[in-house]
Amino acid sequence: MTITLDPQQQAARDWFESLRTRICAEFEAIEREAGSDASFTFTPWDREAPGLTPGEGGGGVRGVMKGKIFEKVGVNVSTVSGEFAPDFARTIHGADENPAFFATGISLVAHMANPHVPAVHMNTRYLRTSKSWFGGGADLNPPLPRDDDTAEFHAVLKGACDAHDPDYYPRFKAWADDYFYIPHRQVHRGVGGIFYDHLEGEFDADFAFTRAVGDAFLAAFPPIVRRRMHDSWSEADYRQMLEWRGRYAEFNLVHDRGTLFGLKTGGNVDAILMSLPPMASWS
């Protein structure tokens, strides 16, 4: 990667990469506890766009693990810069007059082998156009929802939000409920979490909150996995998981803004589409 970063950009990039390292280590530890030797495979990539030499527009690393507990989990980090196409720039905060952009972030999707273990999504990012902001969130996607898992996941996210602003959790929970909705199915993608975007007040405070979201995810999700990963399941449970995964794929291909952003900015296609489940069904 040959792009030059200022101190704020470098700090954000370093944090997202360090969070990736901690998450991957924890997920591999869960696999060890289950008697599996599965580990992440990391593949670097350079952003491709017309007129760019390799690395000139940044790039990232795609991390994927397929194991006994995590049927397929992707943890991607990227740091890219360049210019939006004019038609796409009009849809991006602060890019309507100047198409130049910078973006760094982490994106994670885990599809689990056991239908009783929820799938999960987490993403945090820092973007700069003529404006500068953080965004992201985390949401739980169980094929077989359990009220205690849902309550625990939300409680940890609420604690992270409340430590920074008491208005954050109700605001960002409602935003997640609205965003992670499949209108053509008239169902939510999962049991929610938090979602925020265009957090552009003061860099240090917004960055601190974004770090808290990443830490909260790491505190909330692994205990749920460990609690459910040895639960017995039936063929009907498995069929329900596959059908639910179909809904997840529909959302990510039709409605997810992150998928569109990655494809429109010359991102790595395999990394962008790692959110798709390894198997799904439509009955």
Check if 93 is active-site. no
Tell me how crowded residue 39 is: count the other CB atoms within 10 A of its CB: 16
Integer Rg of the chain from CA: 18
Q: Are 131 and 201 in contact (CB under 8 A)?
A: no
Tell me how crowded residue 232 is: count the other CB atoms within 10 A of its CB: 7
Q: Listing from the earlier edge strand, what are the strands of the sheet with 58-65?
A: 41-46, 58-65, 70-83, 100-112, 119-128, 132-141, 192-199
C-alpha 65 chain-centroid distance = 15
Q: Which of 121, 184, 230, 255 is catalytic?
A: 121
The residues that are catalytic are 121
